[in-house]
Amino acid sequence: MRRFDGKVALVTGAASGIGRATAQRLVSEGASVLCCDVNEAGLQETLQSLAVEGRASAQICDVSDVAAARTAVAAAVQRYGGLDVLCNVAGIGRFQHTAEVTPEEWGRTLAINLSGTFYLCQAALPHLLERRGAIVNIASSAGLIGQAYSAAYCASKGGVVQLTKALAVEFARKGLRVNCVCPGGIMTPLLGGFRPPPGAEIDLVTRLKLVEEKAEPSEVAGAVAYLASEEARYVNGAVLSIDAGMVVS
Ligand SMILES: NC(=O)c1ccc[n+]([C@@H]2O[C@H](COP(=O)([O-])OP(=O)(O)OC[C@H]3O[C@@H](n4cnc5c(N)ncnc54)[C@H](O)[C@@H]3O)[C@@H](O)[C@H]2O)c1
């Protein structure tokens, strides 16, 4: 499939996991992609894995820094002539007893997962509106259900779900689509932080799991690419779970 020939995408969190797989998928379908992340070495690995000349480049960008978010959007437009697709994938999280969450960690989680997503959306809006583009945000199953030991993560991802819906309605008549994906149990480095903390009640973190197997980042990237593509022309404000049924159990 070449659903993104001539299109330009900006992908955050592109140095690893789902962001890298998304960049790979979009490039393989013809897009030019600005790969954004705070991890420079990871970005270089992503670029090497893409092996395309001139259709992908790296941009160091801390999404929680509003100026950096605006610079990244401007870089995509300057390098590739516009912007059609924004994928907000960057995120952090881990299990932690709520009593041990410091104000700094609470703030950092909200700043990266939620504010960062908003900053990129806001900066990209005029360009996406110009091209009748699409935004795909990565929320989480933890944005839909209660997940123990995840107060800040749940709060931030629930915010991403609602941010997605708010933008979807506000811009529906202007041709911009905004959807989100809610993964759960995807094999990436992030998953390593979701180990039950000492003294945790294990059944609280396993209660919703229907299967033991995990999914690959590329499986999420396939859904992101669909939502970003013209095939999803009539899909707006959708919240797509990719979690083997966890949130319906
Ligand atoms: N892996 C899962 O099972 C799972 C489940 C639900 C949601 N998610 C979400 O998917 C997204 C991608 O996570 P992943 O699983 O691929 O993890 P990952 O750790 O492999 O990738 C996250 C990327 O975000 C980057 N990042 C962190 N802080 C950043 C910042 N301030 N600015 C820019 N980039 C930053 C990291 O450097 C990293 O490259 C996250 O939003 C995560 O919450 C993942």
| Residue 173 pLDDT exceeds 90 | yes
For residues 78 and 88, give the distance between their C-alpha atoms in angstroms, rounded to a whole number. 19
In a domain, 247, yes or no: no
Nearest alpha carbon, ligand 1 atom 1:
186
Short-list 147, 166, 170, 164, CA closest to 227:
164
Q: Which domain holds residue 78?
A: 8-240
Dump pLDDT digits (tens) for 144-171.
Answer: 999 999 999 999 999 999 999 999 999 9
Q: Which atom of ligand 1 is nearest to the CA of 39?
A: 37
Short-list 9, 15, 26, 13, CA closest to 225:
26
* pLDDT above 90: percentage of residues in the chain: 97
In a domain, 3, yes or no: no
pLDDT of residue 53: 81
DSSP one-letter string for 40-60: HHHHHHHHHHH--SSSEEEEE
**pTM for the predicted model, two decimal places:** 0.98
Dump pLDDT digits (tens) for 80-127.
Answer: 999 999 999 999 999 999 999 999 999 999 999 999 999 999 999 999
CATH of the domain at 173: 3.40.50.720
Active site residues per annotation: 153
pLDDT of residue 51: 83
Determine if ligand 1 sits within 6 Å of the CB of residue 17: yes
In a domain, 234, yes or no: yes
* Alpha carbons within 13 A on the beta-carbon side of 131: 21
In a domain, 110, yes or no: yes
For the residues 58-66, what does the mean pLDDT come to? 98
In a domain, 190, yes or no: yes
In a domain, 25, yes or no: yes
Determine if ligand 1 sits within 6 Å of the CB of residue 16: yes
Determine if ligand 1 sits within 6 Å of the CB of residue 89: yes
* Ramachandran angles phi, psi of 179, nearest 5°: -130, 165
Q: Is 103 left (phi over 0), alpha (psi -120 to 50) or beta?
A: alpha
End-to-end CA distance of the chain: 34
In a domain, 249, yes or no: no
Tell how far the Cα of 107 is from the centroid of ligand 1, in angstroms: 16
User: For residue 120, how many other CB atoms are within 10 A of its CB?
Assistant: 27
- The mean pLDDT of the chain is 97
In a domain, 246, yes or no: no
Determine if ligand 1 sits within 6 Å of the CB of residue 154: no
Residues paired with 11 in a beta bridge: 35, 87
* Ramachandran angles phi, psi of 88, nearest 5°: -90, 100
For residues 108 and 119, give the distance between their C-alpha atoms in angstroms, rounded to a whole number. 14
Q: Which helix (H) or strand (E) holds 10?
A: strand 8-12
- The total domain count for the chain is 1
